[in-house]
Structure 1
Amino acid sequence: MERLANIFHLGLKELRSLQRDIALVLLIIWAFSLGIYSAATSMPESLHHASIAVVDEDRSQLSERLIQAFQPPYFRTPERIDLSQMDRGMDAGRYTFTLNIPPDFQRDVLAGRSPAIQLNVDATQVSQAFTGAGYIQNIGINEVAEFVRRYRADLPQQAGLAVRVAFNPNLTRTWFGSVMEVINQITMLSIILTGAALIREREHGTIEHLLVMPVTPLEIMLAKVWSMGLVVLVATTLSLLLVVQGWLQVPIQGSLALFLGGAALHLFATTSMGIFFGTVARSMPQLGLLIIIVLIPLEILSGGTTPRESMPELVQQIMLVAPTTHFVDLAQAILYRGAGLSIVWPQLLAIAGIGTLFFLGAMTRFRKTLAQMA
């Protein structure tokens, strides 16, 4: 009971120290509110007011129908230009897309030939170039098909494709971006807070006070883990309820309590990483550089940005030792697909095992650091 009391009071000391650190408090508030909102809504889910110009060399009913098909809010009103203006407009960045409808386009379509329309895309407009090219292709195919039906009978389709989108029927990007950003913030803040807590004690000289107190390194480390983990867990809960569900209107399918339980295990691993980094770094700038080196691979290669199946096999195997890989799987299964404990228990077990190894490694390093200071 005496050891538990020491861990509890040392944790309260960490919370009071954090409360006085205005910069970290503001970082926590921003990361779990505006940080999540901006990350979820920064890139458009669909094409929005893309600039397009058309060179109409056919001047037919079909070409006019194609031009009129590009309407707001996906596209701006198409600008009609001649062939000499097309390249200059693309070079100057005035148009993201230019469409060149060739002469005799309508006549060739009605004759059963396959005329080509030239589409030029400014690929420097990364957020809209790829999506917009698909939009224009679909619009062109549909408009030509409807135009031809007025002159020829429909040909029976030999096969049809029925697409059913599960868990996110409208393919709303904010549903994915908001939850994945919560996971990223959990990982980032837990490492920063625990590492900063250790460096702050070294800079302020309070670590020497702890060395002369009747407390063990295990008690000091556990106090930092539970206190900083609790801060991140409370911020996560409020963010999911107020920002993700309330502000962004993202439906949470599964058990929030089960997700928070998995988050607590994940925090056990990441706070241990933070303490390890705090023993390696000698100042906050060094800690920031260490976190950048580790955090970017954790976020990009864990499956939160792109599916792990699309990565090289070696990378997939290496990332199995990272707790974020299993936490992303767990979060997506619970929050998107409504999975229960019977489905996500392997991820929970993996996170607990990895967290234990990280904790033991950080504990060994922390003992050596304290012994050198003593």
Structure 2
Amino acid sequence: MRKSLANIYRLGIKELLSLRSDRVMLLLIVYVFSFAIYAVATGASTEVANAAVALVDEDRSPLSRRIQDALLQPYFQPPVRLTVAELDAAMDAGRYTFVMDIPPHFQADMSAGRQPAIQLNVDATAMSQAGTGASYLQHIIAQEILAFAQGREGDPQWPVNLVIRTQFNPNLKSSWFLAVMQLINNITLLAIILTGAALIREREHGTIEHLLVMPLRPAEIMLAKIWANGLVIVVAAVLSLYGVVQGWLGVPIAGSIPLFVAGTVIYLFSVTALGIFLATLTRSMPQFGLLAIPVFMVMNLLSGGTTPLDSMPELLQALMQLSPSTHFVSFAQAILYRDAGFAVVWPSFAAVAASGAVFFGVALLRFRRMVTLMQS
């Protein structure tokens, strides 16, 4: 047992030295855990900001001007006046995300107790703003109409007082969410790439044959690659969490970072084993990349980090419970966003550990078969 641990340790050191000499891979690690997180968090906003809006005012009344004046920055650009004849052409050209059409006699009809309709045309190809922006506009219009009907400024008195309390992200800043989720996704990406590339590099350089003539077992070679590359990812992720997410972007971390690191270590055991398994199915880095990218995309998009699991088909929800990325996203969000303790996240820890044991077993069988074929 002691000899086996020594072999795993020395092989892991060899992996770290080999990675140190690979400048392209080092540059990739630095980029993925620094600028890639910053660029996504600050550039891919999901809330309504600076949306282009136009107004067709056929009423030209104080109420219609009041609605126009309520469309303020930074949510909306200053409204552009259009005529009815220009509306369709403007929407077809994609110049505006929202075009509001206030009909003639709107204020008079409303004062007479009738129920006039405002037409809101939405460019739904701008999906990031269409749904949220439409609800913003509906709320603004309702507020202004009610305040005008009551004949006074200030907050209108609703029959029911709805109090909204936003937990964990009170200002609804998308950068807080995107920064952490990008870090989580990049951990998965690097775990697959680094371990798979390490095995492919051994085969391309011919050093795998040197290992096979040594008194080493396939499990020792695999474990060495797992702990060495996993260590690099954990260190890079922690530095990114403190330096980029908290320091550069100013995102508050509510929970225990050591608990998150412990869960990440368990997750890396699972995903690095998956990377080795994928590498045994290919013979070169291009082949590995073509196989790893779709696997990562599925794990990323269907893990619950991009869209909630509840919005997916039930069969897909059940299948994704077999993926370690689903449980990783679950406990990472619970810890970092909601300050969850071990008593809350231990089922996800256990699920990741179970999937890791399965992935490691399958990867070990495949690696042994590859070794046998190379020796014969």
Q: Give the deviation of 1:209 after TM superposition.
A: 0.7
Which AA in structure 1 matches 2:306?
T
Asked whether the 8 Å contact 2:303–2:320 carries over to 1, the reply is yes
2:221 aligned with 1:254: no
- Counterpart in the other structure of 2:176: 175
Describe the superposition over 1:13-48 as per-residue Cα deviations: whole angstroms up to 9, x where unpaired.
111111122221111111111111222223224322
Which AA in structure 2 matches 1:88?
A
- Counterpart in the other structure of 2:327: 326
Q: Which runs of 5+ in 1 are unaligned?
A: none
Describe the superposition over 1:165-207 as per-residue Cα deviations: whole angstroms up to 9, x where unpaired.
2222222212221111111111110111011000101000001
SS at match of 2:321: helix
| TM-score, normalised via structure 2 length | 0.95
| TM-score, normalised via structure 1 length | 0.95
- Distance (Å, rounded) in 2 between the aligned partners of 1:148 and 1:97: 25
- Counterpart in the other structure of 2:265: 264
What are the equivalent positions in structure 2 for 1:45-194 lying under 5 Å apart?
Answer: 45-150=46-151, 157-194=158-195
Describe the superposition over 1:219-257 as per-residue Cα deviations: whole angstroms up to 9, x where unpaired.
111110100000100011001101111111111111110
Asked whether the 8 Å contact 1:58–1:103 carries over to 2, the reply is yes
Query: How many residues of Structure 1 are paired with residues of Structure 2 in the alignment?
Result: 372
Q: Give the deviation of 1:275 after TM superposition.
A: 0.8
Asked whether the 8 Å contact 2:19–2:26 carries over to 1, the reply is yes
Which AA in structure 2 matches 1:337?
R
| More divergent stretch after superposition (69-78 vs 233-242) | 69-78
Counterparts in 2 of 1:163 and 1:188: CA distance versus 1, 3 Å: same
How well do the aligned residues superpose, as a CA RMSD in angstroms? 1.7
Describe the superposition over 1:70-123 as per-residue Cα deviations: whole angstroms up to 9, x where unpaired.
222222222222211222222222222222111111111111211111111222
Which AA in structure 1 matches 2:104?
P
- Counterpart in the other structure of 1:35: 36
- Distance (Å, rounded) in 1 between the aligned partners of 2:45 and 2:203: 45
- Counterpart in the other structure of 2:20: 19
Asked whether the 8 Å contact 2:50–2:74 carries over to 1, the reply is yes
Counterparts in 2 of 1:222 and 1:91: CA distance versus 1, 3 Å: same
SS at match of 1:321: coil
Asked whether the 8 Å contact 1:320–1:326 carries over to 2, the reply is yes
Counterparts in 2 of 1:240 and 1:108: CA distance versus 1, 3 Å: same
Asked whether the 8 Å contact 2:143–2:156 carries over to 1, the reply is no
- Counterpart in the other structure of 2:371: 370
Which AA in structure 2 matches 1:37?
Y
Describe the superposition over 1:243-282 as per-residue Cα deviations: whole angstroms up to 9, x where unpaired.
1111111111111101100000000001101111111111
Which AA in structure 2 matches 1:336?
Y
Q: What fraction of aligned residue pairs are identical, expressed as a percent?
A: 55
- Counterpart in the other structure of 2:244: 243
- Distance (Å, rounded) in 2 between the aligned partners of 1:155 and 1:196: 62
- Counterpart in the other structure of 1:335: 336
Q: Which runs of 5+ in 2 are unaligned?
A: none
- Counterpart in the other structure of 1:44: 45
Q: After the TM superposition, which segments of 4 or more aligned residues of structure 1 sit over 3 Å from their partners?
A: 154-160
Q: Give the deviation of 1:157 after TM superposition.
A: 4.7
- Distance (Å, rounded) in 1 between the aligned partners of 2:268 and 2:361: 15
Counterparts in 2 of 1:71 and 1:272: CA distance versus 1, 3 Å: same
